[in-house]
Amino acid sequence: MNSETQATISSSSSTSHKYWLSDEKHDTKSTPPSVVTKISTKTDENAQPASEASPSSLQLSTSGTSGRTPNDENKESVTLIWLDLNMGSDDDTQRTMAMLREINDFVVLHTHLDSYIDHVANARNERIFLVTSGKCVIGLLPDVETQSQVDCIFIFCLNPNKYKHLQNEYSKIIGIFSKHEELAKSIKTNIDLVEKQIQSFSFYNQQKSTRDLSRESASFLWFQLFKDLIIQMPPDNHGKRQMIQKCQEYYCGNKKEVATIQEFSDTYRRTDAIRWYTRQSFVYKLINKALRTEDIEQLYIFRFFIADLCSSLAQEYKKMREREKGVLRVYRGVKLSNEEVEKLKENEGKLISMNGFLSTSRLPSVALNFASQLTKRRDAVGVLFEIEYDLSELNDDTIVCADVAKFSDYPEEQEVLFDLDATFKIQSVNREKPDLSRANLRVTSKGADIAREYIKLNRKELEERSVAIMFGSLLCDMGQYDKSMKYFENLFQNPQGENISDIEFNLGRAHDFRGEYDKALQLYEHSYATMMMSKPVSETVSARVLNNIGLVYNSKGEYDRALDYYSRCLKMREKCLPSDHPDIGGSLNNIGLVYYRKGEYDRALDYYSKCLKMREKCLPSDHPDIAHSLGNIGSVYDNKGEYDRALDYYSKCLKIQEKCLPSDHPDIATSLNNIGLVYKSKGEYDRALDYYSKRLKIQEKCLPSDHPHIARSLNNIGSVYKSKGEYDRALDYYSKL
């Protein structure tokens, strides 16, 4: 084969990993050395005595508290960094920390410049507010201006006039303060603005198949399934106790939040859910952060409250439907980056789902005020979402929203709150002013339809199973292996009627995807043993476990053992399934893969061809599994040097993929690469370059710049230019590796 990397079509090894078990019942980080880990009065050894240190005494009656480290888990929307190279007394430090934690619980104190620089350099998906003195900040400002992680700066010093000129030179400086009350008020105002404006969303192209999802489409579907799972869970008093306990542990030492949690514990009733959410308490902050980040562990802890909130919104929605008819128009104003606005524009006509509960207002002026708020982010653009909901058109409970003004601390904002799974179609996105865009959205029930299609499709193919199992398995398909693992670990400790062996199987699957093969084998084998002891034995379910054990051995390169398990799986499936069942095709494909890996191409071709014949008989002509089979056969011919036949199969594969998969799906990139390889082997260099370049374009759109797949594409393009004798251009691509 060629020296450049061949990306063979993902075989049914990838498809087979997507099997779930049915619900048949059985009886049965280290801290960087320079990062501060405790509050300390030790100052930077290299720092000079400061003539204008931060004010040394805080007149606050707060309890002592400790700060956090950069490696602690941040459940707030903002990371508040306090940088002080000339730390005062322990009492001053504790009082300052208490003040800051009452505003934003996640506060990290740095007393050494190196630790601060390391923290910011290693920050991922953090929005940092920096509080420091004028003396500390001067040397940092040029770098801070270009660091997207640092949202804004608050300077705290005795002589504000000394640094007033900096506000005109550096856009991220919010203000210069000498009084603690003014500093605290400004920080709180800006954090509240972030809480209200921060937005994340998922897109879905309804023209594509639910059978093979891109990461973003799977994320969209995840939210559709999440609500279904939550409302199906039985009432759980343990859930409330667990939530309160976890919140008390997280906010330990934060006097204000601990008091609020105690109030919640003493007074909360199901009918209070909307009021607690809209008052922007710890509940509001923690749930919204968990939803934005798809934090399974956190969402599981808040499951009882989310269920209550969904139920309360549904009740208020019914009342609103009785009062109102026709078209409801509501508005939301946010600040987004130019890149996010462009993404909205690119997705006109597609579906969008906000990742969480969506707060809107009946008043465009309220939303416009949020969209027009001044910000220190240079790349921020105000976006006014105008949402149209024809209440007469959607006459069921598919999309729930409620007028919650009477529950709110700010009734004048006339808030309308949308439930978790609300889906909208992007009608248009237009730039009205240089700093303001308008996005017109229309409420649609398509999201619920897609979720129902997905559930129906998989239940038909994989027999019956609970939404709980499907939900965790979807996380694996999204590539969220750690989250899937945490989810199934929680489910293992507190099953809602699910079979323990099913949970073990899916835990094994998560370890399998993470490359932890020995742990995966242990879980698979224990799951299989439990199933075989149950009466009656479900051979269809047991066969899937055998299949996945084979997948692990295949991944470990132990092909003979993989072949043994695949063969046992095939024998079991041929015994208990119809002769044209897709699972039999999957087994044939996997056996073909083993022979392909062993270099026995004729035997591989025999099994791949049987698999294709079966799939063409029982699946739609544009099914992704048919594309997989075509690609695999193409790979065999490619390795046999029969390039024209390889090209024919690769091209058929690509045609199906372009019809049924998202345009940036990795399988399409793989097919483009394989076709490029064939043209390179045939000496048709310009055509090879065309396909390699298309692949690279997809990868650059959806992968980080240092991803190894991008490096392989650059290498392949460089090799073509080398073969053409264009050494300078070849060197250009090789130098990017």
How high is the pLDDT of residue 574?
Answer: 95
State the Cα–Cα distance between residues 37 and 547, nearest whole angstrom: 47
State the Cα–Cα distance between residues 617 and 395, nearest whole angstrom: 40
How high is the pLDDT of residue 26?
Answer: 28
How high is the pLDDT of residue 681?
Answer: 96
Q: Which fold has domain 1-22+538-654?
A: 1.25.40
How high is the pLDDT of residue 207?
Answer: 42
How high is the pLDDT of residue 218?
Answer: 60
> Which residue type, as a one-letter code, is found at position 32?
P
How high is the pLDDT of residue 58?
Answer: 31
Domains 1-22+538-654 and 661-737 are alike in CATH topology: yes
**For residue 12, what is the enclosing H or E element?**
helix 12-16
State the Cα–Cα distance between residues 560 and 653, nearest whole angstrom: 29
How high is the pLDDT of residue 297?
Answer: 75
Question: Which SS3 state, helix, strand or coil, does residue 439 take?
Answer: strand
The CATH number of 661-737 is which of 3.30.420.40, 1.25.40.10, 3.30.565.10, 3.30.420.10?
1.25.40.10
Q: Which fold has domain 201-451?
A: Toxin ADP-ribosyltransferase; Chain A, domain 1 (3.90.176)
* Beta bridge mates, 442: 388, 425
Q: Where are the domains of the chain?
A: 1-22+538-654, 29-197, 201-451, 661-737
Strands 415-418 and 173-177: unpaired
Q: Which residues, in sequence order, are CB contacts of 279 under 8 Å at separation 6+? A: 408, 409
Q: Which residues of the chain have pLDDT under 50?
A: 1-66, 204-214, 461-462
Burial 693-718 (b: 16+ CB within 10 A, else e): ebbbebbeeebeeeeebbebbbbbbb
User: How much is the CA Rg of the chain, to the nearest whole Å?
Assistant: 29
Confidence (pTM): 0.63
How high is the pLDDT of residue 203?
Answer: 55
| Domain 29-197 indexed as CATH 3.40.30 | no
State the Cα–Cα distance between residues 377 and 535, nearest whole angstrom: 63
How high is the pLDDT of residue 63?
Answer: 30
